[in-house]
Structure 1
Amino acid sequence: MEMVIENLPSYRIAYVRQVGPYGPANAQAMNTLKQWADKNQLLHESATLLGIPQDDPTTTPPEKCRYDACIVITESERQEDEFVEIGELSGGDYLICKVKHTAEDIQQAWNVIIPHLQTSGYRMDNKPVIERYRWELLNQHYCEICVPVKPV
C-alpha cells in the first residue's frame, strides 16, 4: 500500500450530513451529494469528493454517528440550497494511503496504518479522518484514506 505524508490545503466544501449508524446510509448521502453536484455542474474530472466520518463508532452511540459526504468547491461555486450545507475543512499534514475502494481493503488498510504510525515519528492529530475520492482514482476503483497526523 502506498503511504505518503501530504500537507492538504484548507477546503471550502458543500456537504450532505447523515446521522445514524455508519454503513449503507453513508453511500446514500454520497449519492444525494453527487446528484446535487451533477445538477449544479460540479461533478467533473477535476472534482474531489470527500467522505468524513465525524465520530468514532467505538465511543459514540451508532444513532449519533455523523458522516459528511462532501465535494470541494470554490468561492464562486458557492451554491447553498436546501440540499447541502457549506463549510470549511481545515488543512494540515495527513498520511495519505491509496487503497482499493472496498470495505475489506479499507479495513485491512487500518491494520497497516496504525502500526505504521507507531514507527513513523507521527501520531494521529485530533481531526477527522477523510476518505478522498478523485476522478482518476475512482475510475480505477481506488480511494485515499487521509489520516491527520502531527510529529511526535
Structure 2
Amino acid sequence: MIINVENISPSRIAYIRQTGSYGLGNIQAMEHLKHWAKTNDLMNNKTVILGIAHDDPQIMPPENCRYDVCILLPEGYLIENADVQLGDIAGGKYAVCIVKHTTEAIKQAWAEIFQKLSADNYLPDPTRPILERYAAPLIEQHLCEICVPIN
C-alpha cells in the first residue's frame, strides 16, 4: 500500500445522504447523484465524486449509518434542484491511497490503511471526514482513492 500526502482544497459540494446499512443503498445513492449531475451538465472528464461514510458500522447500528455521496461543484455553481443538498469539504492535509475500484480491494484497503498510517507516523485527524474519491481519470482505469485527513 502506497500512501501519498496531498493538500486537498476546500470545496463546495452537492450531496445526497443515504441512511442505513452500507452497501446497496450507497450504490443507489451514487446512481441517483450521477443522474442528477448528468442532467445538470456536471459529468465530464474533470468530475470528482466523493463518498463519505460518517459512521463505523462496528459501533453504530447499521440502520443508523450515514453515507454521503457528493460531487465537487465548480466555483459559483448555483443549485436550483431540491434533489441534492449543498455542503462544504473543509480541505487540508490528507494521506491518499490509490485502490482498485472493487469491493474486495476497497475492503482490504480500509482494513489496512490505519495500520499503514501509524507505521508511517501519520496521525489521523478525527475532526474531518475520510473521503472515498472517485475522479474521472482514475475511474477510467478502475481505480479510486481513500483520503484520510491527517494532522
Q: TM-score, normalised by structure 1?
A: 0.94
* RMSD between superposed Cα atoms in Å: 1.2
By percentage of residues, which structure has more strand? Answer: 1
Give the % identical residues: 47
- The letter of the residue matching 2:132 is E
Change (3 A) 1:105 1:16: same
CA shift for structure 1 position 80: 4.0
- The letter of the residue matching 2:82 is E
Is the 1:15–1:68 contact (alpha carbons within 8 Å) kept by the matching residues of 2?
yes
Output one character per residue of 1:80-111: Cα deviation in whole Å (capped at 9) or x when no partner. 42210000111111110000011110122234
Aligned residues: 150
- Match of 2:114? 114
- Match of 1:10? 10
Question: Unaligned regions of 5+ residues in structure 2, if any?
Answer: none
Is the 1:6–1:93 contact (alpha carbons within 8 Å) kept by the matching residues of 2?
yes
Is the 1:17–1:69 contact (alpha carbons within 8 Å) kept by the matching residues of 2?
yes
Q: What secondary structure does 1:124 align onto? A: coil
Structure 1 Cα separation of the partners of residues 67 and 60 of structure 2: 12
Q: TM-score, normalised by structure 2?
A: 0.94
- 1:148 to 2:135 alignment: no
Structure 1 Cα separation of the partners of residues 51 and 110 of structure 2: 16
Is the 1:78–1:86 contact (alpha carbons within 8 Å) kept by the matching residues of 2?
no
Structure 2 Cα separation of the partners of residues 63 and 107 of structure 1: 20
Mapping 1:71-110, distance limit 5 Å: 71-110=71-110
> After TM superposition, what 4+ stretches of structure 1 lie above 3 angstroms from structure 2?
none
- With 62-71 and 101-110 compared, the bigger mean Cα shift is at 101-110
Is the 1:100–1:143 contact (alpha carbons within 8 Å) kept by the matching residues of 2?
yes
Change (3 A) 1:80 1:64: farther
